[in-house]
Amino acid sequence: MKTTDLHHHTASESYAGAEDLPGTKPLTPQLNAMLVGRQDLHPELSIVRVRPDQGPVPPFRPGQFVTIGLLDAPAEHSPPKLALRPYSVTSAPDKREDVELYVNLVREGALTPHLWTLHEGGRLYLKPTVGGTFTLDEVPNGKDLVMVATGTGLGPYISMLRHFRGKDRWRKFVIIHGVRNVADLGYRGELEAAAKMDANVLYLPTVTREGWPGLQGRVQDVLFTDLYPQCAGAPLSPEQCHIFLCGNPVMVEAVESELVARGFRKHKRREPGNVHKEAYW
Ligand SMILES: Cc1cc2nc3c(=O)[nH]c(=O)nc-3n(C[C@H](O)[C@H](O)[C@H](O)COP(=O)(O)OP(=O)(O)OC[C@H]3O[C@@H](n4cnc5c(N)ncnc54)[C@H](O)[C@@H]3O)c2cc1C
Ligand SMILES: NC(=O)c1ccc[n+]([C@@H]2O[C@H](COP(=O)([O-])OP(=O)(O)OC[C@H]3O[C@@H](n4cnc5c(N)ncnc54)[C@H](OP(=O)(O)O)[C@@H]3O)[C@@H](O)[C@H]2O)c1
């Protein structure tokens, strides 16, 4: 199943897959996990941790997503509904006591407004399986990995970096993170520290809606200008680079088209290429 299918098919639907709590009427989907951490970066952006009640998070690979569910406030005489949404895992796969997620509030959304009312100890549903193919599984060792994100699309790269750093998995790991405001640069401290300690890790945050001393403009203004070779010390070449695109779907499509025009190939399971993508909506 494509991730987008999962997203659309599960939007706000009444949840039929979860077990029901014994003896409750009307039947209520079972909330099988707890919010065990939340770090609010600003009022609309958080890093949360979710712990399943029954043992560790299932095994996953960096770049994959979990699905969480939250009950809406039921109207009188109607059973509560569980909104289910996928979220990329930011934690490393060797830490499976809980799962870390990087989430922004969508005010008109079905799930995130409920997540924003949840405190540590709050109950939610965590699907007991993980999914997704936005991983390094089909990427050879020794490449320049160019990880492009807008907003919370940074998440998968955090898990990849936490897991593979120092293991000779790549020649360079270049993160280009496009955000509106400096306050949206989640994981900035961790990424700056990683780049400082490891010459093969580059962190290139770029901001669109306020001035700051760093890079200014959209991710394309870094990727498709002289800035990329200047910062990376190597050209953006289809021979040496694999590009990952994650976040805003308009950015993902626009950057993919430009890469294809520059000789890159979309990655498909039966037709391996060097452009990998995950659109968040
Ligand atoms: C594979 C996959 C992984 C994802 N991982 C993450 C993640 O790690 N972090 C994260 O924050 N989101 C992630 N998303 C998006 C997430 O699943 C939800 O769609 C999002 O949190 C909004 O949920 P909602 O129910 O509140 O709003 P929805 O009812 O789902 O969305 C309402 C509308 O808001 C817009 N929208 C949806 N998501 C976003 C968004 N993130 N930013 C801006 N506008 C949006 C769309 O136009 C959508 O129609 C992922 C999506 C997919 C498909
Ligand atoms: N971040 C905030 O401060 C803020 C405030 C209020 C509400 N929200 C809500 O939070 C949600 C997500 O916001 P977000 O800021 O994380 O995501 P976003 O709107 O996708 O913006 C993130 C970054 O992506 C850029 N971008 C947008 N379209 C692009 C494209 N086609 N190509 C390349 N880059 C593109 C934006 O640049 P531009 O600035 O040029 O668009 C911005 O730098 C939304 O629902 C939003 O309403 C966020």
The tens place of each residue's pLDDT in the chain, 281 residues long, gives 333 333 333 333 333 344 444 444 444 568 999 999 999 999 999 999 999 999 899 999 999 999 999 998 777 777 888 999 999 999 999 999 999 999 999 999 999 999 999 999 999 999 999 999 999 999 999 999 999 999 999 999 999 999 999 999 999 999 999 999 999 999 999 999 999 999 999 999 999 999 999 999 999 999 999 999 999 999 999 999 999 999 999 999 999 999 999 999 999 989 999 999 999 99
Question: Across the strands, what pairs with 20?
Answer: 29
Q: In CATH, what is the architecture of 3-126?
A: Beta Barrel (2.40)
In this structure, the chain runs to a length of: 281
pTM of the complete model: 0.92
> Closest Cα to atom 50, ligand 1: which residue?
280
Ligand 1 site, CB within 6 A: 3-4, 7, 11, 65, 83, 85-88, 101-104, 106, 108-112, 132, 151-152, 155, 278, 280-281
Other beta carbons less than 10 A from residue 104's beta carbon? 16
207 CA from centroid of ligand 2 (Å): 10
Pick the closest to residue 111 from 158, 76, 79, 73 (CA basis): 73
Overall CATH class of domain 144-279:
alpha beta
Q: Where are the beta strands (DSSP E) in the chain?
A: 33-42, 45-52, 65-71, 82-88, 99-104, 123-126, 144-150, 172-179, 201-207, 215-216, 241-247, 275-279
**How does 141-171 read in b/e, with b if 16+ C-beta sit within 10 Å?**
eebbbbbbbbbbbbbbbbbbbbbbbeeebbe
Ligand 2: distance of its center to the CA of 55 in Å? 36
Identify whether the C-beta of residue 230 lies closer than 8 Å to the C-beta of residue 221. Answer: no
Please report the pLDDT score of residue 182 as a whole number: 98
Predicted local confidence at residue 73, as pLDDT? 73
Q: What are phi and psi of 195, to 5 degrees?
A: -70, -30
Question: Which residues are CB-neighbours of 129 under 8 A, at least 6 positions away?
Answer: 58
User: How far, in Å, from the CA of 33 to the mean position of ligand 2?
Assistant: 30
Amino acid at 231: C
Residue spans per domain, the chain: 3-126, 144-279
